[in-house]
């Protein structure tokens, strides 16, 4: 069993190990930086320890992290520690917002006459967010354009709104005389 001093350095024969850890640093930041509302994901993180003699060692799996959960939308600092050394990572969370929409299940009614009101019954739209997550939304959460079918109508556009962000998709219809 090694004997350590108060700074965690190994003492050999009554002397401090000459090759103790001098510092640690983040050499590759985590891949995911979109944390608003999501758990902390450190995939891709690389932390390297630099020893007194200048040699380095990747210690990512040996560090202590002061956070397991993430919350809020203001910048937050995560502290990583290894052998009484610390490094810090400050992230400004990116809001998770809708990025695109696509028709997952078409509306029941696809054939209209001029003057008919648009009927979104049965329509399911898949909304994709900027963090890759997806959500299905139905007719009650969508706005259609046009609301009334005209002679030259060939498509109905539907818009999903979340906060101040809108995403739109459309689907083809047939107008019969």
Domains and CATH numbers, the chain: 3-91 (2.60.40.3630), 98-176 (2.60.40.3630)
Range with top average pLDDT, 3-7, 37-41, 85-89, 113-117: 113-117
- Global pTM? 0.57
The per-residue pLDDT for range 121-132, each reduced to its tens digit, is 999 999 999 878
Strand order in the sheet with 124-129: 98-105, 124-129, 134-138
What is the pLDDT at residue 86?
Answer: 87
Q: Would you say 152 and 88 are in contact if contact means Cβ atoms under 8 Å apart?
A: no
pLDDT confidence bin for 119, thresholds 50/70/90: very high
> pLDDT tens digit string along 24-75?
999 998 887 666 556 677 888 899 999 989 999 898 777 777 665 555 566 7
Omega within 30 of 0 (cis) for the link into 146: yes
């Amino acid at each position: 069993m090694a004997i350590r001093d108060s700074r965690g350095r190994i003492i050999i024969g009554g002397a401090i190990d000459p090759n103790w850890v001098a510092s640690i640093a983040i050499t590759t930041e985590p891949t995911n930086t979109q944390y608003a509302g999501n758990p902390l994901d450190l995939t891709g993180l690389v932390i390297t320890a630099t020893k007194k003699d200048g040699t380095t060692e990747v210690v990512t799996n040996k560090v202590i992290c002061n956070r397991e959960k993430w919350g809020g939308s203001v910048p937050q600092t995560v502290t990583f520690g290894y052998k009484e050394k610390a490094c810090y990572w400050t992230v400004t969370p990116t809001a998770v917002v809708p990025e695109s929409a696509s028709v997952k299940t078409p509306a029941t009614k696809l054939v209209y006459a001029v003057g008919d009101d648009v009927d979104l019954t049965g329509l399911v739209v898949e909304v994709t967010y900027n963090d890759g997550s997806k959500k299905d939304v139905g007719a009650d959460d969508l706005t259609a354009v046009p609301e009334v079918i005209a002679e030259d109508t060939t498509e109905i556009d539907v818009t999903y709104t979340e906060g101040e962000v809108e995403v739109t998709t459309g689907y083809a219809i047939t107008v019969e005389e």
